[in-house]
A and B are shown apart, each in its own frame.
Chain A
Amino acid sequence: MKLEARVPAGPLADKWKNFKASVRLVSPANKRKYEVIVVGTGLAGGSAAASLAELGYRVKSFCFHDSPRRAHSIAAQGGINAAKNYQNDGDSVRRLFQDTIKGGDFRSREASVYRLAEVSMNIIDQCVAQGVPFAREYGGLLANRSFGGAQVSRTFYARGATGQQLLLGAYAALNRQIGQGRVQMFPRHEMLDLVVADGKAQGIITRNLVTGELKAHAADAVLLCTGGYGNAYYLSTYARGSNATAIWRAHRRGAAFANPCFTQIHPTCIPVSGEYQSKLTLMSESLRNDGRVWVPKQSGDRRPAAKIPEAERDYFLERIYPSYGNLAPRDIASRAAKRVCDEGRGVGGSGLGVYMDFSEAISRLGQRTVQERYGNLFNMYHEITGENAYGAPMRIFPAVHYTMGGLWVDYHLMSNLPGLFVLGEANYSDHGANRLGASALMQGLADGYFVIPYTLGDYLSQQKPAGPKQAADTEAFWQATEDTQKRIQRLLGVKGKRPVSEFHRQLGRILWDHCGMSRSRKGLEQGIEAIRTLRQEFWQDVNVPGSGEDLNQSLEKAGRVSDFLELGELMCRDALEREESCGCHFREEYQTSDGECTRKDEAFAHVAAWEYAGEGKAAVRHAEPLKYEEVSLATRSYK
């Protein structure tokens, strides 16, 4: 397998500029001869489909939801980073780049991250022009707030619904193109396979989720913008429908899967309340601007928060990480919370929770200001827990939130399969081993609005347009359709006893226990065994009622869970073979005396890219070395 990063030559700050100046182009008259498939309509997919259609390409856009507006980007709360330096507090492209590289614990590609920081500013301009109602100051200029892992205020936001407003912006741009007939929209269509012929991605197989019809769609390029795979853990902050099927099936067709074990566990979520729980709800990281995180100093102290005097509280983030305090990056804050809970100092009924306290902020700013800033989050907390966080501190606990891993891509966002591009959370690219808050929205939109319009043209300029008659009836398409049909029949044919959700829950527990906030060789080996057994049981005992010929949500779930059952094993193997601790990936064997990560740069300063070897066979590990030209690898410290 060839993993060529294709990073342009020249000094870091000039690479993207040079690339754009020398990129090969497709003339306006020729663009309409190319057909591009975009799967997913979140920030990455929506913005890519709209931008490519504006340029003149013929675009087909697919989503499994009933409307492109429902993609899970919609749920992002806190904000989007950009190096605008509107606050005059010392921000710059360089600093955003450095924060992101360091935040990712030096496991991301320097040139890609620098480009991300560079285009971050264009994103804000673009979104404002579209009518995104960002928060503003009284003078009418844009407001900012701080997020974890940064010492500047560079996060733009729209109350607690930044993702919604950005997605509705991309959705509007997409709608404009649909209305003009430049994008053909396929809602309620799920991609079930990638078609590869002559070594290139040439199309996809989809299932119409209402009629069950399978259809082959051919194109000159395929863009997967289908989000992350954190739902493998069952309980997560993801939407229930978020899944890995598109990227996993592309992986089965030859696309390398990079760093599958890099999973972000977000520190501030509402703790689990019972067995029936279907989803965990995030409380935006922005709360850490004013909320102070603490637990009792004494283990086993079960007194209510109000009864614990100030002197007996441990504000552990402020104590351990004085220079970043409550705004320490997510992996660090999560691990610290886990540690104090392991010591028996956790709060709430289960002991799996820490307090986030706003009493100091309320006395400093007044309840009204706190309400103005975080009102919707406090309401959400109240709705779910029935508790009033203005009166008593919130209880929070870490939960699976994002996956930094994903399909491997080069600087052009192209996978190792020519013609297959991967954008947004679905790729592995910019966040290394830990993503900073408010950087997911930035990356999704950077990829879709400002990177792919250049890099896709460079690829297509070297391809003859396949033309409308291409494909859909060639051997490869026929074969992929038949494979898909067989897999559906197999799922329906097991006719066992247990519902899909039961297997999903069990898989989630295995991954959380063995491949969660802390990992070890022994645990991972056990995890792999347990997943293999569970996968066998699934194919012997799953019960998928109904048929494949109509709307069948059990069948949809079964397909997705069958993919998670394969991906879960790869996540564990990746964690097992990365014998170091970095960012989110904490291996108990590799830690300092005070429990921080010990990175092994000589052996592991690389991206692990896994090649599919066939069902039941061990995937093959490849590596893309990470060469740092301008950043020096340092021990990450937030103390």
Chain B
Amino acid sequence: MKLHLKIWRQPGKDHPGKFEAYGLEGLNPNMSFLEMMDVLNDRLTREGKEPVAFEHDCREGICGSCAMAINGEPHGPNDGATTCQVYLRSFKDGETLTVEPWRARAFPVLKDLVTDRSAFDRVMQAGGFISVNTGQAPDANAMPIGKEVAEQAFDAAHCIGCGACVAACRNGSAMLFVAAKVSHLGLLPQGQPERKQRVQRMVEAMDAAGFGNCSNQYACEAVCPKKISADWIARMNRDYALSVAQKL
């Protein structure tokens, strides 16, 4: 099959960028989208041009590295999938695809399709943990945790930190990402002692990193490759409000 690509090229952080057009022919529909990028990059290399920088690693939808918007949709057209899990059979022969990096104030572009997502790490460092040093833990079965609670905690904890939620949000909000971690730990009994300060610290760090506020459009939930529910945002807001109220 044949595809026309319009890809964002930007040489560096402080350089202006622009779209470049490339045409690819003879593609196999069973190829993954990233394998198509490999083919393009090998071709560019042979032509003596610089290949397109893009992030990718596990290529099985779990590391959260790949971060591209295809035709304006973070991670492309597939439901519950990352960019690396998109296969060319999802597109029409001869289609034109626009490929861009995440667009968000808190994620500056470093080069081409590579953005700096370290803001997520800073939010996690502020409170995304349970303070337990190695070696102090009681027996794992000492505290039963209901199956349902454990399953819910997993649902929230399954977030891969890719940032699609931020890229999809018109405010560049990271509420879904932060709420998922706050809820994962806040649901479990082990997370209770630090529950209040955790939500406060993480929300503060989120605001400081330049993420916008939630305006209840749920675009984040719609593009999330792990289908993290926007309900967690409501839960985080409740936790946050309670923790602030109790401080007063």
Set B30, B38, B41, B127: member contacting A274, Cβ < 8 A: B30
> Given known contacts A129-B136, A501-B38, A545-B50, is B60 in contact with A75 (CB within 8 Å)?
yes
Which residues of A are found within 8 Å of B127, using beta-carbon distances?
A: 179
Chain A residue nearest to B157 in the complex (CB): A133
Complex CA gap A560/B127 in Å reads 36
Is B135 in the interface zone, CB < 8 Å from A?
Answer: yes
Quick check: is B18 within 8 A (CB to CB) of the other chain?
no
Please indicate the chain B residues that have their CB under 8 angstroms from the CB of A65 in the complex: 57, 63, 65
Q: Which of A485-510 contact B (CB under 8 A)?
A: 497-499, 501-502
| Residue contact A131 to B45, C-beta cutoff 8 Å | no
Min CB gap A286→B, angstroms: 16
| CB within 8 Å for A66 and B59 given contacts A136-B146, A172-B129 | no
Given the known interface contacts A133-B188, A239-B58, the answer about A276 and B35 at a Cβ–Cβ threshold of 8 Å is: yes
A32-40, A46-54, A315-323, A611-619: which one contacts chain B?
A46-54
Given contacts A133-B188, A175-B128, A240-B59, is CB(A168)–CB(B157) below 8 Å?
A: yes
B154, A75: Cβ atoms under 8 Å?
no
Given contact pairs A50-B134, A74-B63, A277-B35, A179 touches B126 in the complex (Cβ within 8 A) = yes
Alpha-carbon distance between A70 and B150 when the two chains are bound, in angstroms: 24
Q: Which of A70, A173, A278 contacts B32 (CB 8 A)?
A: A278
**Residues in chain B near residue A164, CB distance under 8 A:** 62, 158, 160
Q: Is the CB of A383 within 8 A of B85?
A: yes
Nearest to B126 among chain A residues (CB) is A179
Is B131 a contact partner of A128 (Cβ separation < 8 A)?
no
Q: How far is the CB of B206 from chain A (nearest CB, A)?
A: 14
- Point out the residue from B41, B62, B136, B153 that lies within 8 Å of A133, measured CB to CB: B153
Instruction: Check: B34 CB closer than 8 A to any chain A CB.
Output: yes
For the complex, give the distance between the alpha carbons of A185 and B124 in Å.
Answer: 13
Return the CB mask of B130-147 against A: 1 if under 8 Å, else 0: 111111111111011111
Residues of B within 8 A of A179 (CB): 125-127
Contact A554 B51 (CB under 8 A): yes
Query: Judging by beta carbons under 8 Å apart, are A66 and B134 in contact?
Result: no
State whether A502 and B42 are in contact (beta carbons under 8 Å apart), knowing that A240-B59, A278-B32 are contacts in the complex: yes
B39 contacts A276, C-beta separation under 8 Å? yes
Interchain CB contact under 8 A, A499 and B121 = no
- Return the CB mask of A131-149 against B: 1 if under 8 Å, else 0: 1011111111110000000
Q: Which of B109-117, B210-218, B232-240 lies on the face that meets chain A?
A: B109-117
User: Within the assembled complex, what's the spacing in Å between the Cα atoms of A95 and B228?
Assistant: 40
A67 x B121 contact (CB < 8 A):
yes
B83 to chain A, nearest CB (A): 13
A130 touches B190 (CB 8 A): yes
Question: In the complex, what residues of A have CB within 8 A of residue B124's CB?
Answer: 171-172, 175
Whether B134 lies near A70 (C-beta < 8 A) is: no
Most buried by A among B125, B131, B134, B143: B134
Query: B9 on the interface (CB 8 Å rule)?
Result: no
**With A139-B144, A545-B45, A553-B53 in contact, do A278 and B154 touch (Cβ < 8 Å)?**
no
Interchain CB contact under 8 A, A140 and B57: no
A544-576 interface (Cβ within 8 A of B): 545-546, 550-551, 553-554
**B185 on interface, CB distance cutoff 8 Å:** yes
Residues of B within 8 A of A383 (CB): 78, 81, 85, 87
Q: Is the CB of B62 within 8 A of A122?
A: no
What is the bound-complex CA distance between A276 and B88, given in angstroms? 13
- Which one of A122, A159, A274, A551 lies within 8 Å of B28 (CB-CB)? A274
A126 & B110 in contact (Cβ 8 Å cutoff):
no
Shortest Cβ gap from B102 to chain A (Å)? 12
Task: List the B side residues contacting A239 at CB < 8 Å.
Answer: 57-59, 63
CA distance A277 to B136 in the complex (A): 46
Shortest beta-carbon distance from A411 to chain B in Å? 20
User: Is A472 at the interface (CB under 8 A from chain B)?
Assistant: no
Residues on B with C-beta less than 8 A from A278 are 32, 34-35, 38, 59
Count residues on chain B whose CB falls below 8 Å from chain A CBs: 81
Find A140's partner among B38, B111, B146 (CB 8 Å cutoff).
Answer: B146
B170 sits at the interface (CB 8 A): no
Instruction: Answer whether A133 and B150 are a contact pair too, CB < 8 Å, given A124-B140, A277-B35, A551-B110.
Output: yes
Which of B85, B111, B130 lies at the interface centre, i.e. has the most chain A CB atoms within 10 A of its CB? B130
The smallest beta-carbon distance between B165 and chain A, in angstroms, is 16
A165 close to B (CB within 8 Å): yes
Residues of A within 8 A of B154 (CB): 133, 158-159, 165
Contact yes or no, B42 A499, CB < 8 A: yes
B118 at the interface (CB under 8 A from A): yes
The smallest C-beta distance from B158 to any residue of chain A, in angstroms, reads 6
Residue contact A125 to B139, C-beta cutoff 8 Å: yes
Report if B196 contacts A (CB, 8 A). Answer: no
Interface membership of A241, Cβ < 8 A = yes
Is B241 an interface position by the 8 A CB rule? no
Q: How far does the alpha carbon of A161 sit from the alpha carbon of B120 in the complex, in Å?
A: 21
Q: Is A628 an interface residue (CB 8 A)?
A: no
Those of A114-131 within 8 Å (CB) of chain B: 122, 124-131
How near does chain A come to B93, taking the closest CB pair, in angstroms?
16
Q: What residues of B have a CB within 8 angstroms of the CB of A135 in the complex?
A: 150
Sample of 10 more A-B contacts, CB < 8 Å, known A51-B135, A129-B137: A69-B161, A131-B188, A136-B147, A176-B131, A178-B125, A239-B63, A278-B35, A379-B80, A553-B51, A554-B51
Q: List 13 A-B contacts (CB under 8 A).
A: A66-B55, A69-B64, A125-B140, A126-B134, A127-B140, A128-B143, A129-B138, A133-B151, A135-B150, A276-B31, A379-B80, A545-B50, A553-B51
